[in-house]
A and B are shown apart, each in its own frame.
Chain A
Amino acid sequence: MLPVFRGLLWGLIGFAIGALLTALVRIALGMEPWVFGPLFFVGYLFGLAGWLLGVGVWDTWMREFLGMEPRPYKEEGWRRYFGFNTDHKVIGIQYGVTFIGMFLLAGLLAMAMRIELMRPGRDIFDFATYNRVMSMHGFLMVLVAVTAVPGMFGNYFVPLMIGADDMAFPRMNALSYWIWPPAAILLLLSPFFGGWDSGWTAYPPLAITNEPGQMFYNLAFFTGGLSSVVGSVNFLTTIITMRAPGMTWGRVPIFVWSIFMTSIMSLTATQFVGVAMIMTVLDRVAQTAFFDPARGGYPLIYQHVFWFYSHPAVYVMIMPSWGIMLEILAHFARKPLFAYRWAVAGMAGVTALSFTVWAHHMFTSGMPETLHVPFMATTEAISVPTGLIFLAALGTLWRGKLRFKTPMLFALGMLFNFLIGGLTGVFNSDLPADMHLHDTFWVVSHFHYTILGGGIFGLIAGIYYWFPKMTGRMYNEALGRLHFWLMFIFFNLTFFPMAWLGLHGMNRRIGDYPPDLAGMNMFVSMAAFILGASFLIFVYNLVVSWIRGPVAEANPWGARTLEWATPSPPPEHNFPRVPEVLSGPYDYGVPGAVHAKV
């Protein structure tokens, strides 16, 4: 039996046990036993444990603890992707396929929203359904933005780039991926239980009084957080302890640094969102009083706990893409990465400051006014380390021999988009401006410029850049460029006007707007449809090239980092022996420089 089926079976059994136990406890306490909320909550936690045991924890860990021979998952061909495989390259591809699929699904929901918003008034949805679609779109995209790059490229390329044969804890790496399917199942089931209409942020009191579908979101977020924590323990340990000899901290590729800093944030801040989610669920199912004003609770504190995670999380979304962008700029400009140490310092500075800015999401919430100015100041201060990363990018391009292949186009597009995202962000952090901008389409424009225009452009740059390494085949360059130009132009035509719409009073999270904004909304929707259609080219290119693209060489870009010094795709143990690192990875144009002996 494929382990996924055993996992499902054990998960269902776990769910039944958890739900029945809860019912029994409730009977013992003299409460009404058959209530959906508590039974589902406890059932899910038991089901999650059952799923994980069934899918691989039993075979790989528990048997060993109990003194039996562990049974590692060893399958070849397509089957290797459907079990508890500990090869970091298999796990990278599992993450990649899963989250690109999730991205496309969430993109379809965005298309549906733009159909509704083409004209003022009600079209295809009632307004409650619009909010549910918006919530699902937002949350799926947040999961993609947080997870796709570390999951796919972090797992695949961190060990390769530092010259290791795998991650420090291969079994935990598999665990971090296999935690995700229960979260995905929750999100797919949520609409059948009414979905949720409180956006990806799910503020109480709405989030404790709305449909039961809300709980599916809470538990999915909690589950995803678990995976993040497990993954970041692994990344940090791997990067510290498994660098090839000679790979000193000053020679670590910038993408590896970005994953390192990202992992510091995921390791720590994620626990806050986990706690916020559990508190919300308890308010719903156990009548606790954390956030429910009806019982004397404090809804505003939810926002503090939530954003203490979720502001660092936006840097989790962007920082690995900065890493990809800087890698690509150096390799395609054929120049040493400019101000490498300052770029690393910039990433460290952003990481440190990201924990000090959370309440800038709450300027209009009614929190104590003494908090306003300090949070404005820290938020504006974060543009200084961000600026270092920009300067490193610009300095690398300066007088370089630029080669405009698809990955480079996306990296440059990202640089442009993120500049606009950053500049629009300055207004949000500015207290007097934010009083007016809060919850308008200006904000929608701002964060799509940073997260789609920045983070996801970086993801796609990485996909084209590393596609030959991961699949052993070359993508179609002409289609890649076509995809870039369509996506870049229509991304800007979609989201730049949204800033204007916001300034003219269009609110977000409402399926309607004043009639005089109809013309611009029609324009935005048309641009959004072409933006959406550009992904058909992307998917076509990936699928067809993976099946029958021309065979890729080991190093089609002439890049110097270690992942290119081994065949495409790399063999099981990555390198014939542990490479010996002699100098930094970006010494383009330095005569006689060799990064590593493989």
Chain B
Amino acid sequence: MSEHGHGHAAVYEGGYTRLQINRMGLWFFIISEAFMFLALHFYRFLALGTYKPEGVNVILGLFLTAILLASSVFASQAEKAIARGDQKGLERNLLITMGLGLFFVLMVVYEWSVAFAHFPPSTPFGSIFFLTTGTHVLHLLSGIVILALVYLAARRGAYSAESHWGVTAGVLYWHFVDVVWLSVFLSLYVL
């Protein structure tokens, strides 16, 4: 996933390596995506304050949170595995992470089917609830696609202990999607 450019990056002021440059770009992208969720929460609190209708299932929300936190642990295990050159560990942990992600999506879909009866999208709370969780699920699905591409590349032997930017990037993005879930959980379930 490295940018090739014409490449003599390390000669510039500050001596940034290509890896550091890639990492910085990803971080800026993550900051930007965080503002997307900030905008959703901005609407939620400006329009509705902390209003919460009947039927918001905090227990289910906690369960969803637990799934994602667990997936983040496996994601970082995947990165640690390749950092010590453990190909099998990388592949196994990626698979578990993606599996937990898919399980999370299924649980959200289940939750939507229940929520639909209590606060359908044709009500203001329902609108922001479905849009925020939907946006998060889209991010999570894109995270699964990215990890799947990383997994395929890992199977081809594209990564080594020294060079595995693709893994780092996919895992960092995955952590971001998990952390954002915490803000979604707080804004829609808890407050």
Interface residues in chain A, defined as those with a beta carbon under 8 Å from any beta carbon in chain B: 64-67, 164-172, 229, 232-234, 236-237, 240-248, 267-272, 274-276, 278-279, 282, 286-290, 295-298, 301, 304-305, 308, 573, 578, 581
Contact = CB atoms under 8 A, between A and B. Distances in A.
A554 to B, nearest CB: 21
A308 B42 contact: yes
Interface string B82-111: 000000000000000000000000000000
Interface stretch (B16-24, B69-77, B174-182): B16-24
Given A290-B124, A295-B123, A297-B124, A243 B13 contact: yes
B91 to A, nearest CB: 15
Contact of A289 (B6, B127, B158): B127
Contact of B43 (A66, A166, A274, A305): A305
Main secondary structure of the interface of B (DSSP, over half): helix
B152 A66 contact: yes
Contacts of A304: 42, 46
A45 B102 CA distance: 23
B127 A290 contact: yes
Contacts of A248: 13
Nearest to A169: B3
B29 A233 contact: yes
A52 to B, nearest CB: 14
Contacts of B47: 290, 297-298, 301
B63 interface: no
Contacts of A169: 3, 5, 25
Nearest to A247: B13
B145 to A, nearest CB: 10
A282 B135 CA distance: 13
A205 to B, nearest CB: 14
A241 B24 contact: yes
Given A170-B3, A171-B3, A304-B42, 13 more contacts: A65-B152, A232-B32, A242-B21, A267-B28, A268-B31, A271-B35, A274-B39, A288-B130, A289-B126, A298-B46, A308-B42, A578-B8, A578-B12
A407 B137 CA distance: 51
B42 A65 contact: no
Contacts of A305: 39, 42-43, 46
A255 B173 CA distance: 32
Contacts of B16: 240-242
Residue of A164, A271, A278 most packed against chain B (CB within 10 A): A271
A241 B122 CA distance: 47
Contacts, number: 152
A268 B33 CA distance: 8
A168 B8 CA distance: 11
B133 to A, nearest CB: 13
Contacts of A288: 121-122, 126-127, 130-131
Give the most central of B28, B126, B128: most A CB within 10 Å: B28
Contacts of A296: 123-124
Nearest to A230: B29
B190 interface: no
7 contacts: A66-B149, A168-B3, A240-B14, A270-B32, A271-B32, A274-B36, A295-B124
B58 interface: no
A305 B44 CA distance: 11
B39 A271 contact: yes
Given A170-B5, A271-B38, A246 B25 contact: no
Given A275-B36, A308-B39, A243 B14 contact: yes
Contacts of B31: 267-268
A272 B24 contact: no
Nearest to A249: B13
Nearest to A166: B5
Given A241-B16, A241-B21, A282-B127, A272 B6 contact: no
B11 interface: yes
A290 B35 CA distance: 19
A238 to B, nearest CB: 9
A243 B131 CA distance: 41
A243 B12 contact: yes
Nearest to B123: A289
A272 B39 contact: yes
Contacts of A247: 13
A578 B126 contact: no
Nearest to B145: A65
Given A66-B152, A170-B5, A243-B13, A268 B43 contact: no
Interface in B47-71: 47
B39 A237 contact: no
Nearest to B48: A298
A308 B46 CA distance: 13
Contacts of B7: 165
A233 B20 contact: no
Contacts of B114: none
Contacts of B42: 272, 304-305, 308
Nearest to B33: A271
Contacts of A237: 21, 24-25, 28
Contacts of A287: 121-122
B25 A268 contact: no
B43 A245 contact: no
B110 to A, nearest CB: 17
Interface string B151-170: 01100101000000000000
Contact of B152 (A67, A244, A272): A67
Contacts of A286: 121
B40 interface: yes
B9 interface: yes
Given A233-B29, A288-B121, A298-B124, A67 B158 contact: yes
